[in-house]
Chains A and B, each alone.
Chain A
Amino acid sequence: MPIWEPEKEGMSRDELRQTQLERLQATLNRVYKNVSFYRRRFKEINFRPEDDFTEISDIERLPFTDGHDISESYPYEMFAVPLREVVRVHASSGSSTNPRVVGYTRQDLRTWSNLVARILSAGGVVQDDVIQITFGYGLLTGGLGIHYGAERIGASVLPTSVGHTERQIKIMQDFRTTVLVCTPSYAIAIADRMDTIGLSAKNLSLKYCICAGEPWTEEMRREIEGRLLVKATDNYGITEVLGPGIAGECLEQCGMHIQEDHFLAEVIDPQSGTVLGPGMKGELVLTTLTKEAFPSIRFRTGDISSITDEPCTCGRTTRRISRIFERCDDVVVIKGINIIPDRIGDILQQIRGERPVFQLVAVRQGHQDQLEIWVEVTEQFFYDKMREQRALLDFMSKKIANFIGITPTIKLVERGSLVREGGVVKPFVDRRV
């Protein structure tokens, strides 16, 4: 398979280290000058990039940035360029009170498309492909991110966006889609629906499936490959750092190549913050090396992974991250959407003025993930009349859907019946496995 930018993706390790050093130095100089958040943070530990940054490893002195910091800077406080230089704004999936808003300059968009072109190429996409993108378009980075990368390659893009599974299948068949971009669980949902309507994958032209957006397993990969008759690859993106395009698997399927000339990846112990060596599992921490509008310094992704520096046979010299094993914070990922249980509590509290005892439950119906919210019943949430009761539950569900983007099922349960741990209700129970 061709490599999109062979001279960059196959750079010698020495040159890559030097490039990282130069770009990191320039990035630190810029954020120190232009972003008051970072300047304050650096000053607190008495760190001046011009004096104290000499080696890449010096970055370990710098504090981490997390999603909370970015929410606090809502909307534009962490931008490193004036708004008039910004040509696109995205926001993360509203997993906290303030969405995390990120911006892109014209050059950022060029870099972004190019990086997505790299990971799509790694996953098998070429100019002749017809690529169907079932990620959400809009403020989320998934849809537009992949879209521009696919156009950069010159593939024919079908921006079908989310949902309407049967229509997706019809388009896939009639438009002779060769590459499907989706969350892994949606790939399986599509396969299920095809079974229901009696359509065989042999009648499709699919060759590759580019999966992202949620943690998945090797078994799911085999299932997708077997049922849709494709080769499926994994890729990694996170809005606060870029969106899709940070790392992606090649057809060797042995981990996601990090685009190391644009990002510095570390894996840390989520408790102590110590940097862990290759092969050790921990939280992935990313620093941008070329982003202009929204540089991130040591951003804690909350995703548990590990880095391998064993060479890959594909010819790329970049290190790879393993698939994402799980989240290390209380963020729940369902259908590629990040949800923080506490925020759901905030919304429920607004409805009746009282914060109910509740629990998020992820269930899998067939192959589709669903979010259920189990609420322990109190007088505030109970009506004698069936109709009023139903209206309240619908209202709650809609209100939450407005906020997180997917519609949960609300279930009232008996008091004291929710799963507890040490006397405290667990905020999240995963019943998908």
Chain B
Amino acid sequence: MLTVKSVHTYYGNIHALKGVSLHVRKGEIVTLVGSNGAGKSTLVNTICGMTRPSRGHIELNGQPITGLAPENIVRKGIALAPEGRQVFSAMTVAANLLMGGFIHRRNPEQLREDMDRLYNRFPILKTRHRQLAGTLSGGEQQMLAISRALMSRPQLLVLDEPSMGLAPLVTRDIFSIILELKEEGRTILLIEQNARAALKIADRGYVMETGKVVLEGEGLQLLEHREVKRAYLGRGARQIWEA
């Protein structure tokens, strides 16, 4: 479904992505793990159109989407639940959801239907639908961020650090929501610092280090890999033999 070929992205002089390739098949959860600064979020921003790559191709279902504006990428079928959730805190929960369905604004019936479905699935959002999003707890905000992304009826859902800043118990809830989404047949690109949790639920994973992919493999097999442990523990965990 999503194919990324040898993408390079710069922030000014900083070469943040150095030839990254990956793909996501329909119905898969693919995870991207790596320590801080490995380039995970840059890759997300590049896929979603927030930053333009200097080289490389991105395709969705065989159609090039490289360098399209973010709103057009949403129209093509990719929705993002961004890092840090980024809910519109001064707006109500319901308004947040409507914003997520922006591209379908000429079809209020569909929006209504989708909102009802999401309220059924996350009753807490229904209870709080008139409340300002900023007053929700972290876990609730994450549910809202995911729901908001789903409002555009995406083919590919990109989740950037959904567990960030959440208590372990809440993190567990979020991961079980992600698994449920997969069971519904959704396709998910999951970016996580919590490599262990992400690899456990992922079909495949890519391990990034300093802007490059250094490993690719099935989720469970990557779990025990040295490079992954490094990514998990952080780049500081140098091995003696590397001296």
Contacts and interface: CB of A to CB of B under 8 A. Distances in A.
A75 to B, nearest CB: 15
B90 interface: no
Contact of B5 (A21, A49, A82, A290): A21
B55 A29 contact: no
B131 interface: no
Interface magnitude class on chain A: 20 to 34
Interface in A370-409: none
A87 to B, nearest CB: 12
B23 A30 contact: no
Contacts of B20: 25
Given A22-B21, A51-B19, A85-B226, A29 B212 contact: yes
B211 interface: yes
Given A15-B23, A51-B18, A55-B6, A23 B226 contact: no
Contacts, number: 61
B221 A53 contact: no
Given A18-B5, A22-B213, A26-B215, A50 B226 contact: no
B225 interface: yes
Interface in B200-243: 206, 211-217, 221, 224-226, 239, 241
A30 B206 CA distance: 13
B6 A54 contact: yes
B115 to A, nearest CB: 36
A145 B239 CA distance: 30
Given A81-B226, A82-B239, A107-B225, A50 B215 contact: no
B194 interface: no
Interface in A21-46: 21-23, 25-26, 29-30, 33
A168 interface: no
A26 B216 contact: yes
Shortest beta-carbon contacts, A-B, top 3: A50-B18, A54-B6, A82-B241
25 contacts: A15-B23, A18-B3, A18-B5, A18-B23, A19-B23, A22-B23, A22-B206, A25-B6, A25-B19, A25-B21, A25-B213, A26-B214, A26-B215, A29-B214, A30-B215, A49-B212, A50-B15, A50-B19, A50-B211, A53-B6, A54-B6, A82-B241, A106-B224, A110-B221, A290-B217
